[in-house]
Structure 1
Amino acid sequence: MNIPILLICLLFFGASFAQKEANVWHFGAGHSLDFNGGYALQASGSQMFTFEGSTSYCDENGNLLFYSNGGGRLPISGQDGGKIWNKNNQVMYDMQGTEGGGWSAAQSSVVVPAPSEPNVYYLFTMEELEFDVDGVVPSEPNGKGLRYFKIDMTLNGGLGDVVEADVQVYDYSYEGICAIRHANGTDYWILINQDTSGIGVYSVNQNGVQLAGVYPYPAFYSGFGIIKSSPTQSGVGAPCCNKVMTSAGLYDFNLSTGVLTLESDLGATWPNYFEFSPNESYLYASIFDQILSVNQLVQYNVFAPSQTGQTLESTAQVIESNFNGLYLQLASDGKIYFTEQSFGFTTVLGTINCPNTSVPTVSSGVLSFPNDPNTSIGFFSLPNFPSWIFYNNYEAQIQFGPDTVYLCQGDTLLLNAGEGTSWSWGGDASTNTSQFYTVTSPGIFSATVTSTCGLGSDQIVVLPCANEEPTDSSVANVVIPNVFTPNSDGINDLFEIENVPENTEVIILNRWGNVVFSSSN
């Protein structure tokens, strides 16, 4: 008989979820946001004090490990000297104004795990362009540049401590720092403004931090701005490259080699603040329109230059013609948060909603924070994070897997229409209105899911198993002798099995496990 084989179908729905290492933000004057509930919740207790840049880092479950303003100035008029705080808001390390980067650097710091060292992290810090506002330190004529601190979270009962402090990597660099995960999923790349010549790429691996290359800026550009990368996933099956954006233009970045290639520049547009969508398809930039004398929020199609040959600038769509936002930062809830500016400072955040779509919306005044009582000013930037943490397509999508599957008798198939706000099923599941449907018999099944960011639909055809025959479960009365004596006396000379069903294979082994007889007839 033919024995039916159970076909196991793996079903997927099209949502790739962001990781949780950036689920807690610390920024400004004691401000904090917690995204572990799936949305931005204002939290208390932060000891942060910074004018611009900061960073924080959580474990894979979203539990805060530490945070930092990345450095500071010699404490004058209330300015912080730079610190690292643990999860209990206690000072882990005091930079005392002479170590780390600058508190007014737009991207003052960023964190990556130390390759091949569990529970150990690199905190990279970046100098501010105004490093000489209090006078130049003779031993540091170019400022503090790029430095790092190494933090071991197994120390101090799990609160962590610094095991390497203020290690200088390069001294002539300001404002921008970006972390990208290597294609191998273990190592990292750090990108900085390498003096005025170009972008410096540094490799971070088990051997430490080394310069991998410097890639010149276009001839028209020689500035120190922020650096952002698209949230491309690394590892097996991931694309070779992601996108890197600076005020000079859009680059391709090879995740394996660290090679940067300028793909498209924005000419005289020169956006200073920008961010990628979670699915890396779109780039958003806050750009000042010199003709209209207003700030605009502009969306660009990231893949158009490589796919169609268009310039990045030609794909520009104005999303908000009178945009009061400047610094943009992607969050784990799939939204891009921006600082709403008033004379360069802010106490208010807005959001770009559904940034993965061609028709995003903008919400102003989403979150507000009190002024710092010491300075009576707000803040200018938001925390800096490695972008791979935020990869998420966040679109309403369904992917039932193959268009056609086979369902054998007695089996069931669970269809998942994905996360959304409502579900509409069709075909042989037309009465269902929930996210899930269990298929018990062949048919055609379709579903449409609705979310705040659009619609998604898919269909699957379920057929009966090909050439399926019923299983013969009857009991055969097989007789097997327990002894025989092949001595030619005519009694028990043959080992004979009786009542064997058709199409049965018989194998006989001796006591040592060797096959002495086999037959399928």
Structure 2
Amino acid sequence: MRYILIGFIIFCSAFAKAQLESSQWYFGVTAGIDFSSGTATATGIGQLVTGEGCATISDDLGNLLFYTDGSLVFDSTHNLMPNGTGLLGDSSSTSSAIIVPQPGNDDLYYIFTVDTSDQQYRMNVGFHYSIVDMSLNGGTGDIVPTQKNINLLPLTSEKLTAISNATGDGFWVLTQFEDTYYAYEITAAGLNLAPVTSIVGPTIELISTPITNVDVAAMRGYIKLNARGDKLVAAHFSNNTTAEFSGITNVLEARSLAYAQGGELYLYDFDNATGVVSNPQPLMTRADGASFYGVEFSGNGRYLYAEADYMLPSTTVIYEFLRGEILQYDLTAANIAASKTVVHTDMIAPFRGALQLGLDNRIYHSRINESFLSVINNPDDGGTASNYIYNDFALTNGAQAIYGLPIFVQSFLLNGDINAVDHCFGESQAFTFNTSAQVESILWDFGDINSS
């Protein structure tokens, strides 16, 4: 009886472990992390060289499937897929790509891409999707030739995020441009090409000026949905207007103003049943003087983190760096904006970089040209107990972090275990769910109509 029981419990535990689709990371200059063991381990076998955007996907056991910078797609052997070049993302786009499974088909995956242009942003080619079929190329996958670079929007920002829908049988993919959020739903029937649109503030104007590399600043920054699927955060690096550049002909002066005048940090409600974004809440605005780029939610869902850069315009360089801050907001507070706590500050330039939650429940911060990642070690804790450590996680020899870290369907980051105590065959059994996340309800399905 004991050996049968132990075998049963081991089987249940293995079945109950969190899925590992987000366990493999590839980013920066040949940098990587493997979380599949439960502990972050640096790897150096990836082939990406990307300044910002990147995305990876593994199967639910943690086996790498493929990864991309939005332009090139590498398979699990770290070779380019035969048709895996020429995607219309850009490695200089904040969120150049995100990978989303096709519900009901284990072989098909969508790669959504957003382009950018460091010259004139309005010249970029917009929002597209391509489909990877893992049954192609001997089982290592390839992009379906007739389903490559399908346009969805002519122009959007450098922002992408995704989450499971309310019924758990599909996903929402979101992007943003100026004052509008576009939510596309994917179900077993495929991608609904008609997005749910939500017009909410602030308006981030795509400024019009003949001076290059000015309009791109406003399009930078991440958006993230929380794993629960009811909150959305947006980081806007700047919020300039065309009128502010009237009469300016000096390139350095124009770029300095574009970069250093401050951006916007906003929190919204998201309805993952309808795809609607609503209730815009300004956490910080341009008047506060900070530019925002990386954002992330804690594993337990209580805290929101944002990285902020404080800069001054300059006449000799693009900007004068003052300081960088990691900000924490308590989403349970009556006044979320007022709950802001600075959990880390330093003057090591540059500061701008992604924040990304790992399966070890730590949040990683990418800082350019570092051979380490900085880490928020205890993001479920309030204030400085969250324990931000500069350059805390060493990358492999020769690898470098730049600005970006891979993004995922945010519900892939929800971690937990099903626990059971000793019991005898034929008797009723109680199960408990162990997770740091704030969970409203759990649906049990053991294939037995009598279980509840």
User: So what's the TM-score if we normalise by structure 1?
Assistant: 0.62
Q: 1:412 to 1:70 in 2, by over 3 A?
A: closer
What is the alpha-carbon distance in structure 1 between the residues aligned to residue 429 and residue 105 of structure 2?
A: 43
Matches within 5 A, 1:367-406: 367-370=394-397, 379-392=402-415
Are positions 1:190 and 2:213 aligned together?
no
1:153 aligned residue: 134
**CA offsets 1:11-34 (integer angstroms, 9 cap, x no match):** x99xx9642001111111222211
Q: 1:415 to 1:253 in 2, by over 3 A?
A: closer
Shift of residue 220 of structure 1? 5.7
1:273 aligned residue: 294
Sequence identity percentage? 26
What is the alpha-carbon distance in structure 1 between the residues aligned to residue 331 and residue 347 of structure 2?
A: 21
Q: 1:400 to 1:357 in 2, by over 3 A?
A: farther
Shift of residue 104 of structure 1? 0.4
2:182 aligned residue: 200
What is the alpha-carbon distance in structure 2 between the residues aligned to residue 211 and residue 168 of structure 1?
A: 12
Of 185-194 and 292-301, deviating more is 292-301
Matches within 5 A, 1:27-426: 27-71=27-71, 83-94=72-83, 96-97=85-86, 99-130=87-118, 132=120, 142-163=123-144, 164-194=147-177, 196-205=178-187, 206-219=189-202, 221-222=204-205, 223-224=218-219, 225-232=221-228, 241-247=229-235, 248-266=265-283, 267-268=285-286, 269=288, 271-289=292-310, 293-304=322-333, 308=334, 310=335, 312-322=336-346, 325=351, 326-341=353-368, 345-358=369-382, 359-365=385-391, 366-370=393-397, 379-392=402-415
- Is the contact made by 2:117 and 2:123 (CA closer than 8 Å) also made in structure 1? no
What is the alpha-carbon distance in structure 2 between the residues aligned to residue 329 and residue 213 of structure 1?
A: 26
What is the alpha-carbon distance in structure 1 between the residues aligned to residue 106 and residue 46 of structure 2?
A: 26
- Is the contact made by 1:56 and 1:67 (CA closer than 8 Å) also made in structure 2? yes
Shift of residue 314 of structure 1? 0.2
Q: 1:102 to 1:209 in 2, by over 3 A?
A: farther
Q: 1:412 to 1:212 in 2, by over 3 A?
A: closer
What is the alpha-carbon distance in structure 2 between the residues aligned to residue 87 and residue 349 of structure 1?
A: 24
Question: What amino acid is aligned across from residue 68 of structure 1 in structure 2?
Answer: T
- Is the contact made by 2:419 and 2:431 (CA closer than 8 Å) also made in structure 1? no
Which is richer in helix? 2
1:21 aligned residue: 21
User: So what's the TM-score if we normalise by structure 2?
Assistant: 0.71
Q: 1:107 to 1:171 in 2, by over 3 A?
A: same
Give SS of 1:272's match.
strand
Q: How many residues align?
A: 358
Shift of residue 213 of structure 1? 2.5
What is the alpha-carbon distance in structure 1 between the residues aligned to residue 386 and residue 28 of structure 2?
A: 27
Question: What amino acid is aligned across from residue 233 of structure 2 in structure 1?
Answer: M
- Is the contact made by 1:22 and 1:62 (CA closer than 8 Å) also made in structure 2? yes
- Is the contact made by 2:31 and 2:395 (CA closer than 8 Å) also made in structure 1? no
What is the alpha-carbon distance in structure 2 between the residues aligned to residue 418 and residue 392 of structure 1?
A: 9
What is the alpha-carbon distance in structure 2 between the residues aligned to residue 264 and residue 219 of structure 1?
A: 10
Q: 1:263 to 1:399 in 2, by over 3 A?
A: farther
**CA offsets 1:433-457 (integer angstroms, 9 cap, x no match):** xxxxxxxxxxxxxxxxxxxx9xxxx
Q: 1:186 to 1:414 in 2, by over 3 A?
A: closer
What is the alpha-carbon distance in structure 1 between the residues aligned to residue 428 and residue 109 of structure 2?
A: 46
Shift of residue 54 of structure 1? 0.7
The structure whose RCO (Cα within 8 Å, separation 6+) is larger is 2
Shift of residue 242 of structure 1? 1.3
Question: What amino acid is aligned across from residue 95 of structure 2 in structure 1?
Answer: Q
What is the alpha-carbon distance in structure 1 between the residues aligned to residue 36 and residue 190 of structure 2?
A: 34
**CA offsets 1:369-426 (integer angstroms, 9 cap, x no match):** 5557xxxx852211111111112379xxx9999xxxxx99xx999999979xxxxxxx
Of 117-126 and 211-220, deviating more is 211-220
Shift of residue 88 of structure 1? 0.6
- Is the contact made by 1:356 and 1:393 (CA closer than 8 Å) also made in structure 2? no
What is the alpha-carbon distance in structure 2 between the residues aligned to residue 416 and residue 259 of structure 1?
A: 33
- Is the contact made by 2:329 and 2:337 (CA closer than 8 Å) also made in structure 1? yes
- Is the contact made by 2:161 and 2:225 (CA closer than 8 Å) also made in structure 1? yes
What is the alpha-carbon distance in structure 1 between the residues aligned to residue 89 and residue 396 of structure 2?
A: 25
What is the alpha-carbon distance in structure 1 between the residues aligned to residue 433 and residue 61 of structure 2?
A: 26
2:257 aligned residue: none
- Is the contact made by 1:131 and 1:143 (CA closer than 8 Å) also made in structure 2? no
2:258 aligned residue: none
What is the alpha-carbon distance in structure 1 between the residues aligned to residue 346 and residue 371 of structure 2?
A: 19
What is the alpha-carbon distance in structure 2 between the residues aligned to residue 314 and residue 393 of structure 1?
A: 31
Of 117-126 and 319-328, deviating more is 319-328
Question: What amino acid is aligned across from residue 81 of structure 2 in structure 1?
Answer: M
Question: What amino acid is aligned across from residue 301 of structure 2 in structure 1?
Answer: E
Question: What amino acid is aligned across from residue 252 of structure 1 in structure 2?
Answer: D
